[in-house]
Chains A and B, each alone.
Chain A
Amino acid sequence: MQNILTYIFLFPLLIAMVMLFIPSERWRVFRRLSFAAISIQLILSVLLAFSFDKELNAENWAGMFQFVEQVNWINLDLGSVGSIQIQYFLGVDGISMPLLMLSSFVLLIGVISSWNIQEKAKGYFILYLILSSSIVGCFIALDFFLFYLCFEFMLLPMFFLIGIWGGARRSYASIKFFLYTLLGSLFILVVMIGLYLSVVDGDVNTFSLVKMMDGAYESGSILDPSSPELIFGYSARVLAFIFLIIGFGIKLPAVPVHTWLPDAHVEAPTPISVVLAGLLLKVGAYGLLRIAYGIFPDIAIDYAGFVAVVGVLSIIYGGMNALAQRDLKRMVAYSSVSHMGFVLVGLASLTSIGFSGSLFHMVSHGLISPALFLIAGVIYDRTGNRQMENFSGLASKMPVYTFFMAIFFFAGLGLPGLSGFVGELMVLMGAFGSSQFSLWIGILATSGIAISAAYFLWTIQRMFYGKYFVRESTWEPNMLDLTAREKLMLIPLTVLVIVLGVYPRLMLDYSNETIEFFIQQISRFYP
């Protein structure tokens, strides 16, 4: 088990390097190799999950991480300011473990979904594997610099994956995605530099997230909680927290800065939508949880109301938009915005059930939204069209498809027994039980569920009920039920959504201790 995290992290990258030297005519090799690489990654993370100590409890953050790997990477002597020390520092705790599992799993679904890509297959799979490594790296990096490297390095592959293999307006969508997320990550970069100059390990400045969470500030430095310095009339910590909310909020996406998401989703090819919705959004949420909340708990308390309002705004505004869409994929994209709002509300509640709910909702949405995009992709593959008014009565023609659609639509709207319900319930319990903001937040967030029920049910009614009809007669011969490959993707997702819905402890057991510890850390800062 030694260095297992490194293998999980870098194995896909290694395979990508190997692929560079395979001639591009042999396009079948690439998908097989990718499948093998991600499968091995998944197997390793399952092994990791089995040997993960769920009961681990410690005094500080440094003790909470398991399978830690720490090596000095960059060591620069810079004279008077000491040296810049960047570490290759990996580890998992109860928060990153479920997300790591989720990543390997969704990435594998993504490879299966990419199976038919022949055009420039070499480039596609190389970029896909680079993306895989960087996503996984984000979840296990414990050095801020390493985290940032992975966080940024997702952009370039994603830009090309959307831009080259995407739909009609792909050029516009990909550059919009790139610009938005780069803006967000530069906000994070500024905070990273501030933290680096303020946090010390011994007497050397450090990028270690663990030290930052444990609050090893150099006294008198700008982000030291006791520092009296103000920037533009605010304390530096408040600004840093706001910057992180903006930076990760763009990735999440939270409402005023969400507009890249619908475009990117609609233009991206199906597998990339799967990864984008399933994992990239979770990276944003994870960053908020680990970095914004982990390092700035004192500010998180002061700004709980603000974050909650942003969350509620995302829930309602995203839901309303989803209601108004006529493109199936766009509808699903806006439903993601709405669902990620719940994550924000759960975080803002600052209760252990709210935090657990957020994390659970992240995992659950990481399973449901890929399935929803696959379902939208099924129609698009057959007809090249996704407009809802062009279809009706699909239930009679494609019963298996309708069955899977129903499961995931109901999971999305929060039907008890499916995973979506558990996450939303826990978040709402956290919101109602929280002392941070008024009851209205909880009430408005609950109304978001009603909106999601409206758009999902309305879509079912429009597309699946009624008399069978498709707009163009040329689509007619293509309207066949699910293929084996499509079932292969949807069945595991269905199983997991049901299992997590019935037995949420499967995931919560992993995170309980860490979340308890997290809340305990935050509670030290209550006035």
Chain B
Amino acid sequence: MNLNDQLNGILNDLQGVWTESILIVGAIFILIVGLLDSNKWLLKSCFLGVLLLAAYYNSLNESTGLLIENSLHIKPSALQFGSLFIWVGILLLSYQRSAKHLVEFCFFILALLAGCLFMMKANSLLIVYLSIELASFASYILTNFSFKKSGFEAGIKYLLFGAISSAFMLFGIGIIYGTTGTFFISDWGIATFQDLFSQVGFVFLLLGIFFKISLVPSHIWVPATYQAAPADATAFMSIVPKLAGLVLLKNLFDANLFVADHWIYALILMLGMLTILFGTLGALRQQNARRMISFGAIAHSGFLLPFALLATDLSASSFWYYAVAYSIMNLAVFYLLDVYEKNDIHNVPDYAKTKHATWLGAAFTLILISLVGIPPLAGFTAKFFLFTTLWEGYQGLANGHLLWYLIIAVLATVASLFFYLQIPRQIFLGQSQDTQSIKFKFSTKILATLFCIVLLLLFFAPQLVMEAKQLLNNVHE
């Protein structure tokens, strides 16, 4: 193949990465606009414009399969989740944010988004590494965007932890390349990881991905980071990199690398169970509301993990549903936490001061109840799909770990009710002087109500989520 053909091929393949290119160019464009004029609305509309353009091109993308010298492998799921992430980014605009540092905020969000989209399309381990780093660096900086001492501390913690994880991952990639002679995930098969050494390399690679998913033992950065970062950044970080990491993990395991009772499955499932337990038990003791929800988000990583391991159709559909429901719930819950924090309500007992705000309190309750997974809200359907997937996986694979996973997930759901209910308990049942001084904006109520309506709607008509998936897939096929 001569150079000309090669270049033409690359040019052809480039349309597979139009979305990411738009995001990166858009990010730079916003930086330039910000230099000239720091008007809040102008910047926000630029941000919206870039994301809408990216969403448009993402839905137009027709090239699937291996691209650009095999370094990317575009599957329908990557495009489908890409659309979800872009919409999550668009919904970040509903959060209150002043004009200060807005330019940089938009820039890093777009960079993070681009990194996550690449992560889902990566086929070469080098792209895996680069995209995780891109996403991570944006996250480190976003953590400190509240410009407080605690944010700086959390950012450094996050950075150090991320550095260790990526070192492990790089080490793992090295071992894998040394033992298998290939960087490409698409070359892997059941015969790839036969000897223990390459399996160890694989586990090291996983550690880097677990860092993004916030799975035990790579979860330690989560509470401090989620607590210190600005709410919109936290919402974004708790949704997008985590789900992107899971999609990447699913891409790895779709290739049927191991037999069902392999020790690597057992190890990952064990870590998943530990994640659920750690997140749930940790949340029980928290006083700070945001910290409590962060622990809840760790537990949700554990709930999401089995979808990535089980390569069934049910698992794929359930993953998609859970991801959509989780995104909406997290956007909503961090939005409301932010609203209350702006009124100087940080700790759980402080919520008793907002007794008079019944409407907002009721909406908050519904959202938290949805995070527990109680009908009639989307969170229940998501949990229901999770349990069904686990049960079906157990039936199909006869893997005893999945049964334990199911049991732990069920028990953790009960325990999670206890901490998620702390906030409604304070709002409605608390014994505090109602100060009446806290007023919430009407637009806040409307937005919170809309979130609740969407969650209710997705319970009563889950087909909407699945049809969205169908729609996205049809476009790409």
| A154-204 interface with B by 8 A CB criterion | 155-156, 159-160, 163-164, 170-171, 174-175, 178-179, 182-183, 186-187, 189-190, 193-194, 196-197
- Nearest CB of B to A73, in Å: 8
B177 within 8 A of A: no
**Is the C-beta of A222 less than 8 angstroms from some C-beta in chain B?**
yes
Is the pair B314, A80 in contact by a Cβ cutoff of 8 Å?
yes
Inter-subunit contact B429/A174 (CB<8 Å): yes
Task: Write the B66-91 contact mask toward A (1 if CB under 8 angstroms, else 0).
Answer: 00000000000000000000000000
CB of B461 within 8 A of chain A? Answer: yes
Q: A175-B425, A186-B413 are in contact. Are A193 and B387 (CB under 8 A)?
A: yes
Q: How far is the CA of A160 from the CA of B429 in the complex (A)?
A: 8
Residues of chain B from 415 to 434 with CB closer than 8 A to chain A in the complex = 417-418, 421, 425, 428-429
Q: Could you tell me the distance between the alpha carbons of A174 and B425 in the complex, rounded to whole angstroms? A: 10
| A231: Cβ under 8 A from any B Cβ | yes
**Interface residue tally on A, bucketed by range:** 35 or more
Q: Please give the number of chain B residues whose Cβ is less than 8 angstroms from any Cβ of chain A in the complex.
A: 34
Interface contact A171-B425, CB-CB below 8 Å: yes
State the CA gap A415–B59 with chains docked (Å): 75
Taking A164-B428, A197-B392 as contacts, is the C-beta distance between A79 and B387 under 8 angstroms? no
Which of A77, A148, A175, A197 touches B466 (beta carbons < 8 Å)? Answer: A77
Kindly state whether residue B357 has any CB partner on chain A within 8 Å: no
CA distance in complex: A392, B317 (Å): 66
C-alpha spacing A258/B384, complex, angstroms: 27
B-side contacts of A79, CB under 8 Å = 313-314, 316-317
**A189 with B410: CB separation less than 8 A:** yes
Q: A163-B429, A175-B418, A197-B391 given as contacts; is B314 within 8 A of A81 (CB)?
A: yes
Question: Contact mask B313-343 → A, CB, 8 Å, 1/0?
Answer: 1101100000000000000000000000000
Q: How far is the CA of A160 from the CA of B403 in the complex (A)?
A: 34
B255: A residues at CB distance < 8 A: none
CB distance from A344 to the nearest CB of B (A): 24
What are the residues of chain A within 8 A of B403 when measuring CB–CB? 231
Contact A197–B428 (Cβ < 8 Å): no
Alpha-carbon distance A103/B463, docked complex (angstroms)? 33
Report the Cα distance A404→B428, complex, angstroms.
Answer: 36
Q: Which residues of B contact A170 (CB under 8 A)?
A: 429
**A74: nearest chain-B partner, CB-CB:** B462
Q: Which of B371-392 contact A (CB under 8 A)?
A: 374-376, 380, 384, 387-388, 391-392
CB-based nearest A residue for B407: A190
A222 touches B417 (CB 8 A): no
Asked whether A193 and B418 contact (CB < 8 A) given A152-B375, A163-B428, the answer is no
Check if A81 sits within 8 Å of B312, measured CB to CB.
yes
- Whether A163 contacts B425 by the Cβ 8 Å rule is yes
A196 pairs with B388, CB closer than 8 A: yes
Selected contact of B428 from candidates A75, A78, A81, A160, CB within 8 Å: A160
Does A123 have its Cβ within 8 Å of any Cβ on chain B?
A: yes
B358 within 8 A of A: yes
Answer whether residue B395 sits at the interface, using C-beta atoms and an 8 A cutoff: yes
Which residues of A lie under 8 Å from residue B384 when comparing CB positions?
189, 193
Say whether A78 contacts B387, CB under 8 Å: no
A91 to chain B minimum Cβ distance, whole angstroms, is 21
Q: Which residue of B lies closest to A77 (CB)?
A: B466
Distance A447 CA – B413 CA, assembled complex (angstroms): 41
Which residues of chain B have C-beta atoms less than 8 A from A183's C-beta? 411, 414
Q: How far is the CA of A79 from the CA of B466 in the complex (A)?
A: 11
A75 to B380, CA, bound (A): 17
Interface centre among A77, A155, A156 (most CB of B within 10 A): A156
Does the CB pair B429–A178 fall under 8 Å? no
Most buried by A among B388, B410, B461, B463: B388
Nearest Cβ on chain B to A181's Cβ, whole angstroms: 10
Number of A-B residue pairs with CB-CB distance less than 8 Å in the complex they form? 87
Q: A76-B463, A182-B417 are in contact. Are A81 and B406 (CB under 8 A)?
A: no
Q: Find chain B residues with CB under 8 A from A47 CB.
A: none
In the complex, the answer to whether A194 meets B391 with C-beta atoms within 8 Å is: yes
A156 and B369 within 8 A (CB): yes
- Residues of B near A160 (CB, < 8 A) are 428
A190–B312 touching, CB < 8 Å:
no
* A residues in contact with B410, CB < 8 Å: 186-187, 189-190
Contact across chains for A175 and B395 when beta carbons are under 8 A apart: no
Across-interface contacts of A78 in B (CB, < 8 A): 313-314, 317, 466
Report if A149 contacts B (CB, 8 A): yes
A123-B313 in contact given A149-B376, A190-B387 (Cβ < 8 Å) = no
Which B-chain residue is minimally distant from A166 (CB atoms)? B429
Q: Does A27 contact B (CB under 8 A)?
A: no
- When the two chains form the complex, which single residue of A123, A153, A164, A174 contacts B376, counting CB atoms closer than 8 Å? A153
| Cα separation A196 to B406 with both chains bound (whole Å) | 16
- A194 CA to B425 CA, complexed, in Å: 34
Partner of B421 from the list A148, A178, A222 (CB cut-off 8 Å) is: A178
CA of A280 to CA of B463, assembled, Å: 32
Least Cβ distance of B376 to chain A in Å?
Answer: 6
Which residues from chain A contact B461 at a C-beta distance below 8 Å? 74
CA distance A197 to B395 in the complex (A): 10
On chain B, the residues within 8 Å of A163 by CB distance are 425, 428-429
Residues on the B chain within 8 Å of A80, using CB: 312-314
A374 to B374, CA, bound (A): 32
| Distance from B68 Cβ to chain A, minimum over Cβ atoms (Å) | 30
Residues 258-289 of B, flagged 1 when their CB comes within 8 A of A and 0 if not, give 00000000000000000000000000000000
B417 touches A74 (CB 8 A): no
Q: Which residues of A contact B414 (CB under 8 A)?
A: 179, 182-183, 186
Q: Would A152 and B317 be within 8 Å (CB), given that A190-B387, A193-B387 are in contact?
A: no
User: Whole-angstrom distance from the CB of B464 to the nearest CB of chain A?
Assistant: 10
A:42-93 near B, CB below 8 Å: 74-81
Minimum C-beta distance from A65 to chain B (A):
24
Instruction: For the complex formed, measure the closest distance between the CB of A212 and the CB atoms of chain B, giving whole angstroms.
Output: 16
Measured CB to CB, the nearest residue on chain B to A79 is B313
The interface residues of chain B lying within 8 Å CB-to-CB of A175 are: 418, 421, 425
Enumerate chain A residues within 8 angstroms of B466, measured Cβ to Cβ: 76-78
CB distance from B352 to the nearest CB of A (A): 11
Docked complex: A462-516 residues within 8 A CB-CB of B: none
Contacts of B429 in A (CB 8 A): 163-164, 170-171, 174
Query: Inside 8 A of B460's CB, which chain A residues have their CB?
Result: 74
By beta carbon, the residue of chain B nearest A222 is B395
Question: Across the two chains, which residue of chain A brings its CB closest to B421?
Answer: A175
> A81's contact among B358, B387, B392, by CB below 8 Å, is which?
B392
Q: Which residue of A lies closest to B374 (CB)?
A: A152
In contact, A75 and B463 (Cβ under 8 angstroms): yes
CA distance A159 to B395 in the complex (A): 36
Q: In the docked arrangement, what's the CA distance between A186 and B314, Å?
A: 21
By CB atoms of chain A within 10 A, which of B374, B406, B429, B460 has the most? B429
CB distance from A72 to the nearest CB of B (A): 11
Docked pose: A78 CA to B321 CA in angstroms: 11
Using Cβ atoms and an 8 Å threshold, which residues of chain B touch A221?
395
Q: Which B residues lie within 8 Å of A159 (CB)?
A: 421
What are 6 contact pairs spanning A and B, CB under 8 A? A79-B313, A152-B374, A160-B428, A163-B428, A175-B421, A196-B388
Starting from the known contacts A156-B374, A171-B429, A178-B421, 14 additional A-B residue pairs (CB-CB under 8 Å) come to A74-B462, A76-B462, A78-B313, A81-B313, A81-B392, A152-B375, A153-B375, A159-B421, A175-B421, A178-B417, A179-B418, A190-B387, A190-B391, A197-B392
Q: Which 7 A-B pairs have the closest CB atoms?
A: A79-B313, A80-B313, A163-B429, A183-B414, A171-B429, A186-B410, A81-B314
Q: Give the B-binding residues of A (Cβ under 8 A).
A: 74-81, 123, 148-149, 152-153, 155-156, 159-160, 163-164, 170-171, 174-175, 178-179, 182-183, 186-187, 189-190, 193-194, 196-197, 221-222, 231
